[in-house]
Structure 1
């Protein structure tokens, strides 16, 4: 009998525990006024709960202002409770059980009027029972994937008269599924277009004291945009991506606006995930609003592109798009303009542009820079992305397509023959296009030679942004050392520098060791108009200190000392010089 009694007690305890647990999980917190013994009255419309700036949706992670206001000029209340309830879903571990999703975080705005509730988990209530006609609190919306949230309010005129729920005192908000411009569209894992494409990227900076005045650096000469860096690539390659850790090269890029390591990391993947490295010149004050151009190729396999531009100074903030799909509806995207907002690389915990270096340890994943921040030292204090000016814009434009026949899977021998045929066809097509030059005025030829698949270790040429749209040139190279006669420790002479015309992505007259290996390399010709109106050679007088000691000319067997020649000309051409 004793054993049966003990067994019954255990069963009763288990049943009671489960029942209480179920009640706790499904219990809506008690929001009645302290000391009240009455039931709530039906809302009469004199008090209203509202979320400022939105009616029925929320942007994940954003900060909102929630308020209770009197709709007339003569109604007042003493007590209140504002609570948040999350959506529910089936527990994947137990299909019979429902679990509540996170509803976000409610916080007091003024601790003199509101405090965290002791009775409800996600709620705030009055700090003191003073008479008031309105109250304002903060609500930090949950991250994406938490569905809809219900905000409820209780308003008490006194212990006996109080209201709760109903349409004036309840707001239901669901996640805004629309995405900012700089979030990639859905990837196309089965791109069916066989033609190759050439794209032009144009980055235009907007970050300035006028557009983003809060905590903008005092020194106008300090802010700058780094070089535009990125790649066209396949679906397996990741340069940077939200919720992922960045590489050491990207860390240097985001923190110091130094792209050297990042470019090296991209080059290492050319041919194994990367088709083209993208590079464009960065700008500083007073040219921060000047466009930056870059060009790249895409094909059936490499139909995504990723780029980034670092903000300097900043902790580790940058702009950009990642894994952006160009093969949409199995055709090449014609043109698109994207507005860019800051991302956080997760390596520095600074909160403002000029914050001291604070290493994030352990390293965090890439995420949006904290918008609607509670920190007054943040440029985004109480700023919603909807109210924020973009920091830049990126224009994607299809310049040209190259027709390619789709190759079906065949045997190894047949595939080898087809590859050979395709290569010859491609060479002939390229030759025809090169000979065409600028015959079609609507096709700009300012192509940047950043496709490094055929030139291992070659530094990409950068297009001079000041050159013409139809007559593109590279940036000027460094000045040649001063050349002249040294007398009494002084040399008066001349120095020269050069740049190269770009035709279809090739620097014309620039020595390329790979050309000698290919007897059938097409010859590029600069249009006559470009030669006449845009010089590729500059010379000027120079005066430098020098040594009077004569230099010994080193002559080796089979080699003789020759006079220097004009850049891009044969050894038989006349030397470009001016009289001393």
Structure 2
């Protein structure tokens, strides 16, 4: 019977210690990532592709600068639509090169059936200018809290912007909002250097890489700005957590003027002006020496402008040179 008081004392001690380490309760209004409760988000894609910010070879016609539909997926940690440093799938290839999403959607569907890793797919309308907005809504659960999407840069060989596996559940709570600046990527399937390059398949295929102001390190590249440390963002995405509604949101089948109107922030960001230096060709060979026999002659060489300067970039140098010479073929 002496055991009972000892057990009671032990239980009292455990209770006392437990009371000391009882965690503070979480705020009841915090949006937690629970298995049974989903979160709904509104996504807004904003194009920031202006001629001032990206003056080199800026597409003005056939076709002008614009954006494809955004293809987005909410998914678990074991799925990737695309990944920097990995090879692009056939679906990503077709989407980034041609804007065709059929194979990409089949890949998403297959992943969802195989490992139950994809919750849903959503899309926005295309944006028919370098600047403008398009929106959509999507849903996430605690088991599928990641967002991935792609938007093709039009025109381009295989360039796109996007996000790979953005986790919307942070610290056990759903993010209320998020905003990300977007920069161009190369899918590694086409070797074109410029926006309007003809189709030239990359063999063997390269891995997906981010395009920077110095990579690819080639003066013909449309994003090559050696004076810049970093490219300005070419687009951005804004995410806002919204309350669940039963209302069915119908997106327009074709883009209209409503998603081409810039926001106030976009109007301010249009003042970004990237300096573009003049680019000239190599000198031609020296021409014939012209002059009278017995006198000094003159010969010339020329070069031409490959790219005119813009936004206070370095002006073009002289395009013609001459130097004295002795006339040829004098008798």
Question: What TM-score, normalized by structure 1, do the two folds share?
Answer: 0.36
* Counterpart position of 2:48: 206
* Counterpart position of 1:193: 34
2:81 equivalent to 1:239:
yes
| 8 A contact 2:33–2:141 mirrored in 1 | no
2:158 equivalent to 1:316:
yes
Higher RCO structure (Cα 8 Å, ≥6 apart): 2
Distance 1:446 1:215, change over 3 A: farther
- Deviation of 1:220 after TM superposition, in Å, equals 6.8
Which protein has the larger Cα radius of gyration, Structure 1 or Structure 2? Answer: 1
SS in 1 for 2:93: helix
Rounded Cα–Cα distance in structure 2 between residues aligned with 1:247 and 1:265? 9
- Deviation of 1:381 after TM superposition, in Å, equals 2.3
* Deviations 1:473-507, CA, capped at 9 Å, x for gaps: xxxxxxxxxxxxxxxxxxxxxxxxxxxxxxxxxxx
| 8 A contact 1:267–1:277 mirrored in 2 | no
- Deviation of 1:322 after TM superposition, in Å, equals 0.5
* Counterpart position of 1:411: none
| 8 A contact 2:213–2:231 mirrored in 1 | no
In structure 1, runs of 5+ residues without a counterpart are: 1-190, 402-432, 435-444, 449-460, 470-580
| 8 A contact 1:446–1:463 mirrored in 2 | no
Rounded Cα–Cα distance in structure 1 between residues aligned with 2:158 and 2:97? 4
| 8 A contact 1:306–1:322 mirrored in 2 | yes
2:117 equivalent to 1:273:
yes
| 8 A contact 2:212–2:231 mirrored in 1 | no
SS in 1 for 2:164: strand
| 8 A contact 1:254–1:317 mirrored in 2 | yes
SS in 2 for 1:205: strand
* Counterpart position of 2:90: 248
Structural mapping, 1:154-193, within 5 Å: 193=34
- Deviation of 1:376 after TM superposition, in Å, equals 1.6
* Counterpart position of 1:293: 135
- Deviation of 1:270 after TM superposition, in Å, equals 3.5
Rounded Cα–Cα distance in structure 2 between residues aligned with 1:209 and 1:355? 19
Distance 1:263 1:383, change over 3 A: farther
* Counterpart position of 1:363: 205
Query: RMSD of the alignment, in Å?
Result: 2.6
Rounded Cα–Cα distance in structure 2 between residues aligned with 1:219 and 1:467? 19
* Counterpart position of 2:12: none
* Deviations 1:355-395, CA, capped at 9 Å, x for gaps: 22221111111111253144221123244775422111100
SS in 1 for 2:243: strand
* Counterpart position of 2:58: 216
* Deviations 1:291-321, CA, capped at 9 Å, x for gaps: 1111111001000010010011111110010
* Counterpart position of 1:380: 223
Rounded Cα–Cα distance in structure 1 between residues aligned with 2:52 and 2:211? 20
* Deviations 1:125-182, CA, capped at 9 Å, x for gaps: xxxxxxxxxxxxxxxxxxxxxxxxxxxxxxxxxxxxxxxxxxxxxxxxxxxxxxxxxx
2:249 equivalent to 1:447:
yes
- Paired residues, number: 224
Question: What TM-score, normalized by structure 2, do the two folds share?
Answer: 0.61
